[in-house]
Structure 1
Amino acid sequence: MFLTIGVLTGQDGVLQKRVTLNYQETKLGTALTEISTGYNIQFAYSTDIVPINEKVTVQVVNKPLDYALESMLSTTKVEYKAIGSHIILKVNEEKLTRLSQPLPQSVPQITPLYQDPKPEERISERQPPKRDPVQRPEYIGTRGPKSLPGGDQVYDLDPERFKIRDVSYDPSKSIFDQRLAQISLLSFLGTNAERSEDVTNNLSVNVFWGKNGGVKGLEVGGLFNTVVNDVEGAQIAGLGNTVGGRVIGTQFGGLFNVVGGEMDGIQGAGLFNVSGDQTKAVQTAGLFNISSGDFYGLQMSGLFNVSNGIADAAQVSGLFNTANGKVKAQISSLFNTAGDVQWGQVSALLNVGKKVDGFQIGLINVSDTITGMPIGLLNIVKHGYNKVEFAGSETLFANFSLKLGARSFYNIFHAGIRWDDREIEENGAIRTGRFSSWGLGYGIGTVIDLGRTTLVNFELEATHINELESWTKELNLLNQARLTLDIRTGPRSGLSLFGGPVLNVMISRRYDPETGTYGSNIMPKTFYDETNNGTNVKMWTGFIAGIRF
């Protein structure tokens, strides 16, 4: 294959162009390409003949190109000649043999080393320097020497041996080829023939499946489009698009889109999208989207989205979203996992993040720290508001609570018990003694800081009361709104004392057959007591106090 490398240059000064080169054991082909690119020099040579993988070494600073080429090619069999605007390279198998032959004997030194007191005598006695007999080397051909004025003899070189043949180059075979259009029936059957992988097309039409070196414009395929290098523009395929390099533009595939390098634009597929390296795009797919590197933009899918790097983006899916790095927002029906979260996470089951600057909404929320609000049945914040509490009140005498979450929003898991001296009828007999009532509750709360050691807790809680029995089947719900003042025992202490008023609302359908009334009897005096359609509502105020760890 014959190559031309470079951009057109003026003919007269091509070999006198000054260059600076520094190559140490560099492949000849690499050096030629860099010289061509850096100095607008156009080389022409056959890669089947010129040893482009041979190592060369050269170091010149601001020297003419011919001087630099002589130095660089001195250890190779490659020779050069300027023809028109090109520098033609060829191989001379005898070059190194010729260079290795011994040079003729040195010419005697005729420059005086001291001052001659009689210059006129020196001039009159000066004799012509002796010349070594010129021997006719075997390699320069068969023609005899010619005598020139002054006594010199030259040999007329054999033109058949030393002629550098005129070389024509075909632009259609350039490794940097770009064409207006191509059409393919299959990947191996198209207008670019066997060179389809080396050609970049502005317009590519693939009836079934086509394979191209690159696309700068538009590519349309009935089934598949395959590009070895890059795409700048749009790809549309009935089934799928595959690109080995990067894509700047838009991909639409009936089933899939796969990009090996960077993706910058839009990907839309019926099943899935896969991108490598950095992705700045909107990805939409019926099943899933996967980004192997960092992702910037939006991922939307029916099942799941995955970003193996930073996801400075929003992820929306039917099942789950995952990001190994930070993410802006995640929305799914099952769970979301990420590193740092900038905006928030929403799912029906689970959200997991490290540093969450926004919110988390889900059944279970887990984070290291959160500056926003975690809203869920269970919120676990490693560096959050996590307390154990023991307290007493007029309704339930002994209470234990576990509070988990953030200061902005935390969960309360509560258990309490009370005991009363009562007479109870069981199986027709009257029992007198001390009987207990107990409750299990759940609530939410928030914290308002008043100082380094003082804060206020506002809490809402609902507790099911099992009154005088192991489990009360009827509705018997104690609802409380609490406002308590919390004072820590020291600036660094984890122990605090708290207390405050409580508003109680008891809603009960518990029926007492002895009195024929509905309602609970665990409360003291009430300021509201009404029964409608078998549901009794009582209200009263109380007090709670205790310690927190």
Structure 2
Amino acid sequence: MRHDGSGYMALFNCLMVAGAMLTGLTCVAQPYLASEIAVNRADTQRLGDLLDGISKQQGFYFAYNSDALDADRRVDIPYYRGSLVGFLEQLLGPDYVYKESPGYLIIRYAPRLMDLTVHVEQRRGRPLVVEGQVKDASDGTVINQASIYERNVLVSTLSGPTGNFRLSFRRPNETIWLTVSKENYRDTTLALLLPVEVGSKPAARRYWFLPEDDGGRGLEGTALGRFFTNSKQRIQRINLDGFFAYNAYQISFTPGISSQGLFNSQVVNQASLNIVGGHTAGVNGVEVGGLFNVNQRDVRYFQTAGLFNLVGRNVEGVQIAGISNIVVGDVSGIQVSGVSNRSGDVTGMQLSGVFNVAADVRGVQLAGLVNIADSSDYPIGLVNLVKNGRRRVGIGVDGVGMVQLAFRSGGRVLYGLVGVGYNPGGGAERYGLETGLGTRLVTAGILGLDAEVTNRVSTGFKKRTLSQLAMRLLPQLHIGRHWSVAAGPALTYGHPDNEGERSRTARVGLYGGLSYGW
């Protein structure tokens, strides 16, 4: 500890150097490492299989980086009975440390130790300042880009090329818990005990460790995610290794100008306001962005942005964007956008002006043009490219002699239709463009029954055009795997759009055709 004789005064009574890794920061009990286990195997086995067997017995999952822990390594543990932590130390050796999170035991490779020196000072009426330096404990070399943070007030920074750092605290608690994290190093914590202010009461805060179970393909697996995640945030994420905190609110002007500073991508907020745009760990309430919102993990309840929302994991609730919603994980709720929605599995609804993209959809996809999904029973769009759905190209003729080439595509229940037509009998409206929506009412072996509602605009490319609404009931006969024949009644209603004429016509006719499906 250094003392500056230029008028600065120390505001702490003592400095306790923990010098060891944090064994967990959650407020829940930590029974995993202390639990008793028994291993009795006469043969060698994969390390990954051994850990999987223990996790199933104990009711939690092991989380680890496959680059740091070889799951394919053969191990021979003929017999062990005792605590889990003793078994892991015997199995892996002294270079690994462990952190507990509800449902997970995180194994982290950390063979090296850090040495931390600090200097605390304050001028009257100014914030408390903590300066220091981070070094390697074994050889004294300085450590660059280590994360230094206070988990209660969510102040954070990175060490510089000389290992030095500086943190400023406007309203410090009675105790400052200063933690230093760096990849391949054990976490080091200092407790700075400040003078007690009568009547002061530190606010409670929730924080936890969450394993990176997306294989690094989450937010940074997208082009926008990489663009809006700067190098300091990437280093912070690696150093903190799954550490996240919960806070009531945050305000950002841009991702780099935030009330939570460099710590913004590690904090889940209940309320988040981003004037231009913001980058946070997640939302558990409401988030509003002037232009965009970027979230490293999950979003719950409500999110809206003028241009786009980008979420690295899952969304639960309502998500609205002027242009696009992009969710790397799954959506449970409603996505609404002016142009496009992209996500994994969807339980609920996707609504967009142009196109939707999803994996498995248990709900409705509604798009102005195209829906794309692995499975979607209720896609509503002109073109629906559903992997396990049905696509048909067919030719048909209606009661007025219009010959139409149509493409039908969709899921198990609903499908879209888009087609072009030509009336060889001539007339003022010999060319037609038709769009519509159909549903499969019955599918029974080689027989089926479809119903369609379509709208066709016919024109001769002069003044006269005809808009015609049609409702069809089409019995189907399937011939082999690909071909089918349909024929049935059609009720049409239309009126010509022509100067001085607004007559409306309704007729009952027939529609029939042949189609090829796959």
Question: How would you bin the TM-score normalised by the shorter chain?
Answer: 0.5 to 0.7
> In the aligned structure 2, how far is the partner of 1:389 from the partner of 1:267?
51
Partner of 2:442: 449
How far is 1:265 from its partner? Answer: 3.4
Matches of 1:217 and 1:3, distance apart in 2: 13
CA positional deviation for 1:484: 0.9
Alignment of 1:101-180 (within 5 A): none
Q: CA deviation at 1:499?
A: 0.8
Residues 393 and 408 of structure 2 are in contact (CA less than 8 Å); yes or no, is this contact kept in structure 1? yes
CA 1:447 to 1:266, structure 2 compared with 1: closer, same or farther past 3 Å? Answer: same
Q: 1:499/1:214 Cα in 2 relative to 1: closer, same or farther (>3 Å)?
A: farther
Matches of 2:124 and 2:388, distance apart in 1: 62
Aligned to 1:474: 464
Q: How many Å apart are 1:306 and its aligned residue?
A: 0.9
2:351 aligned with 1:346: yes
- 8 Å CA contact 1:232–1:249 kept in 2: the answer is no
Give the aligned partner of residue 387 of structure 1: 392
Cα displacement string for residues 495-519 of structure 1 (whole angstroms, at most 9, x for unaligned residues): 11211111233422569xxxxxxxx
Q: Give me the whole-angstrom Cα distance separating, in 1, the residues matched to 2:505 and 2:167.
A: 79
TM-fit CA distance, 1:354: 1.8
Establish whether residue 271 from structure 1 lines up as the match of residue 276 from structure 2: yes
Q: Which amino acid aligns with 1:497?
A: V
CA shift at 1:485, angstroms? 0.2
After TM superposition, the structure 1 = structure 2 runs for residues 191-206 of structure 1, keeping only pairs within 5 Å, are: 191=128, 194=131
- 2:432 is paired with a residue whose SS is strand
Residue 489 of structure 2 corresponds to residue 501 of structure 1: yes
The correspondence of residues 37-116 of structure 1 with structure 2, limited to 5 A, is none
Letter in 2 for 1:458: A
Distance 2:271 2:485 in 1: 58
Residues 456 and 253 of structure 1: CA distance in aligned 2, closer, same or farther (over 3 Å): same
User: For structure 1, which segment, 473-482 or 242-251, has the greater mean C-alpha deviation from structure 2 after superposition?
Assistant: 242-251
Cα distance, 1:480–1:333 mapped onto 2, change above 3 Å: closer
1:545 aligns with 2:482: no
Identity of aligned residues (%): 20
Q: Rg bigger for which structure? A: 1
Deviation for aligned residue 1:346:
1.8
| Aligned residue number for residue 336 of structure 2 | 331
Choose from 249, 257, 281 the match for 2:247.
249
Could you say which residue in structure 2 is the equivalent of 1:117?
Answer: none
Give 1:483 shift.
Answer: 0.8
What is the rounded CA distance, in whole Å, between the counterparts of 1:353 and 1:176 in structure 2? Answer: 51
Q: Structure with the greater relative contact order (CA < 8 A, sep ≥ 6): 1 or 2?
A: 2
Q: CA deviation at 1:319?
A: 2.5
User: Per the alignment, do residues 346 and 185 of structure 1 end up closer, same or farther by CA in structure 2, a change over 3 Å counting?
Assistant: farther
Kept in 1: contact 2:149–2:179 (CA 8 A): no
1:402 and 1:195 map into 2 onto residues whose CA distance is: 69
Question: How far is 1:201 from its partner?
Answer: 7.1
Secondary structure, in 3 states, of the residue corresponding to 2:353? coil
The aligned residue for residue 460 of structure 1 is: 453
Contact 2:437 2:452 in 1 (8 A): yes
CA distance in 2, matches of 1:354, 1:202: 40
Residue by residue, what CA displacement relative to the aligned partner does 1:343-401 show, whole Å, maximum 9, x if unpaired? 11122222221212122222123222444532334433233232111223431253322
CA RMSD of aligned residues (A): 4.8
The match for 1:309 is: 313
Q: 1:191 to 1:536 in 2, by over 3 A?
A: closer
TM-score between the two structures when normalised by the length of structure 2: 0.52
CA distance 1:228–1:333, shift in 2 (3 Å): farther
Counterpart of 2:515 in structure 1: which amino acid? Answer: R
Task: Give, in whole Å, the separation in 2 of the partners of 1:394 and 1:199.
Answer: 77
Q: 1:373 aligns with which of 370, 374, 378?
A: 378
Structure 1 residue identity aligned to 2:127:
G
Q: How many residues align?
A: 330
Matched-pair contact (CA < 8 Å) for 1:217–1:233: no
Q: CA deviation at 1:266?
A: 3.2
Given candidates 269, 281, 296, the residue that maps to 1:292 is: 296
TM-superposed CA distance for 1:295, in Å, is 4.2
Code of the aligned partner of 1:485? P
Structure 1 Cα separation of the partners of residues 154 and 372 of structure 2:
51
The gaps in structure 1 that reach 5 residues or longer are: 7-28, 39-174, 220-225, 235-241, 423-434, 512-532
Secondary structure of the equivalent of 1:266? strand
**Paired residue type of 1:495:** W
| Residue in structure 2 matched with residue 488 of structure 1 by the alignment | 478
Give the stretch that moved more between structures: 364-373 or 314-323. 364-373
Superposition TM-score, scaled by structure 1 size? 0.49
1:211 to 153, 168, 188: 168
Look up the SS of the partner of 1:461 in the other structure: strand
1:190 aligns to what? 127
CA distance in 1, matches of 2:154, 2:376: 52
**Is the 1:232–1:247 Cα contact (8 Å) retained in structure 2?**
no
Separation in structure 1 between the aligned mates of residue 149 and residue 485 of structure 2, nearest angstrom: 78
Cα distance between partner residues in 2 of 1:366 and 1:443:
14
Secondary structure of 2:266's counterpart equals: coil
Measured at CA, do residues 445 and 266 of structure 1 come closer, stay the same or move farther in structure 2, by a change above 3 Å? same
Structure 2 CA distance for aligned equivalents of residues 292 and 350 of structure 1: 24
Task: Give the distance between the partners of 1:341 and 1:417, measured in 2 at CA.
Answer: 40
In structure 2, the partner of 1:534 is: 501
What SS does the corresponding residue of 1:259 show, helix, strand or coil?
A: helix
For the residue of structure 2 that corresponds to 1:396, the secondary structure is coil
Q: CA deviation at 1:263?
A: 2.1
For 2:429 and 2:323, locate their aligned partners in 1 and report how far apart those are by CA, in whole Å.
46
Contact 1:385 1:404 in 2 (8 A): yes
Structure 2 Cα separation of the partners of residues 185 and 356 of structure 1: 60
Equivalence for 1:411: 416
Change (3 A) 1:299 1:439: closer
* Counterpart in the other structure of 2:365: 360
Residues 366 and 332 of structure 1, relative CA distance in 2, 3 Å threshold: same
Distance 1:215 1:335, change over 3 A: farther
